[in-house]
Structure 1
Amino acid sequence: MKNLLTTAAAVAIAASAASAQDVTLRIQTHYATEHPTGQMLAKFIDDVQVMSDGGIAIEMFYSSSVVATTETFDAAINGILDCDATGGAYQTGKNPAFQFVGDIMGGYETPWQQYSWLYFGGGYDAAQELYNANNMQLIGWSIYGQESLSSSKPIAGFEDVKGWKFRSPPGMETEIFQELGASPIVMDFTEIFTALETGIIDGADASGLANNVGLGLYDIVKHATYPGFHSMPSDHLACNKDVWDGLTDQQRRIIDTAWQKLAFQIALANEKLNAEAAAKLVAEGVTLYDWSPEDRATFRKAAQTAWADWGTRSPEAAALLASHKEYMTQLGLIE
């Protein structure tokens, strides 16, 4: 009898395992394998595979090796990929509302405030409507923290940005800095180094302080803002909704849990890396500027003017902006 029960249990386990079919998810990221976030993504892959006992495999395409970074979202929609691990800010041409899930600009001060909007401030449901309308499912964010501006001349406050020529990503940021009197120049990330060397630009909005060190920016320029205040982009994991819905509850829970671990560790790791980079740069003669509360307020005021304009560009943008403003008011960030 004991052997019969053991055999029956084994058959039941095998049948259960067979019902949860093994899957392979094809995901593209814009990060390189050697980038700190690329290294963390490798840990995410390992977590998913171990927790699923090998039932979920992930084929990660680094450095946007399948399609251009801006095309990753559409590649997932169209089945070329299964998931997109870049960021919503790349999709503002599809719907301006993606600005408010990609980079709120001058809004939250810490990754933890921004995460709390997503998970506890109504953000997840508000953002999900936007993603689902494109047959995509937002799984979660990863936020590495505030970005730092790098400059060949002092950048101690908003007075210093008047006439300041700098590399800017496209979108809302250019409008905010133009409002403050700067001269943003939209150029590809790969062109920053040469443009600084040749004096085409005075500075750049590239990434966080530690990442900027890795790029070699402070071999050329000797001024930077730190801690940052102007931009805190959120990378996302978003999957084709049909693919996501085709996973089992267990598989979805594993991916969600592994991503949340990745997201929070990215924020923690970058806080440490940025602090180490700041100490190293000061010792090497780079001047770091922590903008005053008054100058930060001036920037946030200019940002809110841009928010209001972007909020008129689509119903989805208006809804997301309203959600952010309600939560920022609760946090005391805006009145």
Structure 2
Amino acid sequence: MTDLSKRKFLRSAGIGAAGVAAATTLATPALSQNKVQMRFVTTFPKMFPGLGTSARRLTDRINLATDGRVEVKLYDRGALVPGGVGVFDAVAAGNADMYYSSEYYHPSKSQAYNIYGAVPFGMTTPEVYAWLQYGGGQELWDELHAGFNMKPFAGPSTGVQMGGWFNKPIKSLDDMRGVKFRMPGIGGEVLRSVGVAVVNLPGSEVFAALQSGAIDGAEWVGPWHDLAFGFHKVVKHYHWPGFHEPGNIGSYGINLDFWKTVSDADKQIITGLMEAECHVQTAEYNGASPPALDKLLTEHGVQLHQYPDEVLLELAKASRDVMENLAAGDEMTGRVWESYKAFRKQSMVWSKLGIQGFLNAREMTEEALKG
């Protein structure tokens, strides 16, 4: 067809140069030769053990399981989106298609997101997953995320965290007042309310801050990562339990416009693989923490300290007040908190009889049968 013939064809079809440009612009960029390209961003460096390797594993499995129909490109922290917490805005705006993060990094969007990260004295990992799937938590999360043009999915969990490292044992609440301590999220607000000088630092800066004396203590995740970060080289007093994050779960967020371009079959594959990753990475933390803890205690002279009951009681009172004030701030946060709180109350009855009852029996019989 000659250039003249082409121009006549376009005019007869009612399409000018501007129309051709518009049609090209409106074509879905994620679609190419019946393939969907997914830009996957994460809060965590992709070489970081656990949190980072999880995103890489999920990427590889989606690419393989969809036989290339969904082509996932995982961007390292900061490569496509500046910093780590900007992944939420990037996916909401369509500048990326999917993120892996933790919802408590996004309280500026809604305080309700704190509840989908970790709640002090809240639910354990199995209880949180149960609330999401069978207690109404997912439906509320869907509603919350839809306001940002995204669909949320539960991510893996790091499990119950430790209570943190201090340069001296904590024997009373007075020992904590004025202490410069690193803790983010609602847990940090709780400590601040009882007089702790809370400092927010990214994990990569914690060791240097402890070493220089800029902070007196810190929490990070648990034995696996704490050992890798070398906190034991600076401080020796390791406290438990981690009241602030009993069941911290990660989160995936997928742009709704992008999600519509994925076939129903591949939606099921991707969803199933995310659910599988919840099991795999959670098991990885439970598998790596016991030997790491043993190494801290037997090879590095770390001393374990259980928080006194009176300290835990005061922290629990402060946690209740912080959460109730948070829930009173807006209608959506209040609804999520009421749902979470009701499910926690029910779960505590069964967990006490089932899980805690068995653990108590196991510990008692183990001690009795020693020797």
Q: Is structure 2 residue 141 aligned with structure 1 residue 121?
A: no
**1-structure distance, mates of 2:226, 2:241:** 13
Q: Deviations over 1:124-148 (max 9, x none)?
A: 1011110011111002222111222
- Range 64-73 or range 150-159, more displaced: 150-159
- Range 263-272 or range 288-297, more displaced: 288-297
Equivalent position of 1:64 in the other structure: 78
Equivalent position of 1:15 in the other structure: none
Amino acid in the other structure paired with 1:272: G
Q: Is structure 2 residue 331 aligned with structure 1 residue 331?
A: no
Equivalent position of 1:97 in the other structure: 112
Equivalent position of 2:88 in the other structure: 73
Q: Is structure 2 residue 101 aligned with structure 1 residue 86?
A: yes
Equivalent position of 2:46 in the other structure: 33
Structure 1 position 72, deviation (Å): 0.9
Q: Give 1 or 2 for the bigger CA radius of gyration.
A: 2
Name structure 1 gaps, 5 residues minimum.
Answer: 1-17
**Percent identical:** 25
- Range 171-180 or range 69-78, more displaced: 171-180
Structure 1 position 209, deviation (Å): 2.2
Query: TM-score under structure 2 normalisation?
Result: 0.79
Equivalent position of 1:254 in the other structure: 269
Q: Is structure 2 residue 301 aligned with structure 1 residue 288?
A: no
User: Which SS does the other structure have where 1:104 is aligned?
Assistant: coil
Q: Is the 8 A contact 1:51 1:254 kept in 2?
A: yes
Residue 138 of structure 1 is aligned with which of 152, 156, 165? 152
**2-structure distance, mates of 1:20, 1:120:** 39
Structure 1 position 263, deviation (Å): 1.0
Amino acid in the other structure paired with 2:101: T
Q: Deviations over 1:66-105 (max 9, x none)?
A: 2221211111111211111112112101111111112223
Equivalent position of 2:10 in the other structure: none
**2-structure distance, mates of 1:278, 1:315:** 42
**1-structure distance, mates of 2:154, 2:166:** 33
**2-structure distance, mates of 1:275, 1:122:** 33
How many residue pairs get aligned? The number is: 315
User: Which SS does the other structure have where 2:73 is aligned?
Assistant: strand
**CA distance 1:281–1:20, change in 2 (3 Å):** same
Name structure 2 gaps, 5 residues minimum.
Answer: 1-30, 352-371
Equivalent position of 2:294 in the other structure: 279
Equivalent position of 1:237 in the other structure: 252
- Range 63-72 or range 239-248, more displaced: 63-72
Residue 314 of structure 1 is aligned with which of 310, 319, 330? 330
**2-structure distance, mates of 1:28, 1:297:** 40
User: What CA RMSD, in Å, does the superposition of the two structures yield over aligned residues?
Assistant: 2.3
**2-structure distance, mates of 1:332, 1:113:** 9
Q: Is the 8 A contact 1:20 1:248 kept in 2?
A: no
Query: TM-score under structure 1 normalisation?
Result: 0.87
